[in-house]
Amino acid sequence: MDASQYGPFVNVLALAGALVAVFGSLLLKMLGGVKRWTWLAADTPSFLVAAGARVLAVALMAVTYVTIDTSNYGWFGVAAVVSGVLGFLSVTRFDRLRKLHVASVPLVGSNGSQLQDQHGAMLVKNVVIGSEEQLLPEAAAALKVARERGGVSLVKFMSGYGSPVNDPEALWERKVLAGTANKLTTSLMHVVLLAVMTVFLAAFVIEVGMKGTH
């Protein structure tokens, strides 16, 4: 590939920017930004949470840039489609894990009432939880008793169990919670990597294909 014909990604970045505007808006509406989920990796700077995916994406971009040309860009188009399909599946998996293992617990003040922000919205804290099958034996027994008295959800049960309440470590072992948080973080990194690569590959294939017709 003659790199001088394309410059340092100028046209590719322009095409990628247009695709990112559409894809990014849809993804943000569904999952929110990456910073929204950095709490999954406690005590870790936010930029490091997605660093691994971004470093790998840059390496794959470099390989693409030096190998793609008009004779093989169709294969990169196939790679873009595969990456897009895998990205869709990754988003679906992350969303499922989020719904199963992320609970919002209210933040309360010293008077027992739920705190509010400056706009009057109730403040909550997201915490990682395990499944009912992974509950500590004593917590599982207490949940069974609570349900015999009436319908109680797992999250509602957590709000009244342990000291302090709403502490996941009172219901699950730390290694269970760490493993679940790791699954969520890894799944999010897959979403980031595949989203970046799908947009980049699609933009580059379009660029090379257009130049090949002239």
Whether residue 18 is predicted with pLDDT greater than 70 in this model: the reply is no
Cα 52 to the center of its chain, rounded Å: 13
H or E stretch including 126? strand 124-128
**Each residue's pLDDT tens digit, 152-207:** 888 888 888 877 888 889 999 999 998 888 888 888 888 888 888 888 888 888 87
44: left (phi over 0), alpha (psi -120 to 50) or beta: beta
Q: What angle do CA 155, 159, 165 make, to 5 degrees?
A: 130
> 61: burial class by Cβ within 10 Å (0-12, 13-18, 19+)?
middle
Q: What is the pTM of this model?
A: 0.72
Whether residue 41 is predicted with pLDDT greater than 80 in this model: the reply is no
**Cis preceding-peptide flag for 168 (omega within 30 of 0):** no
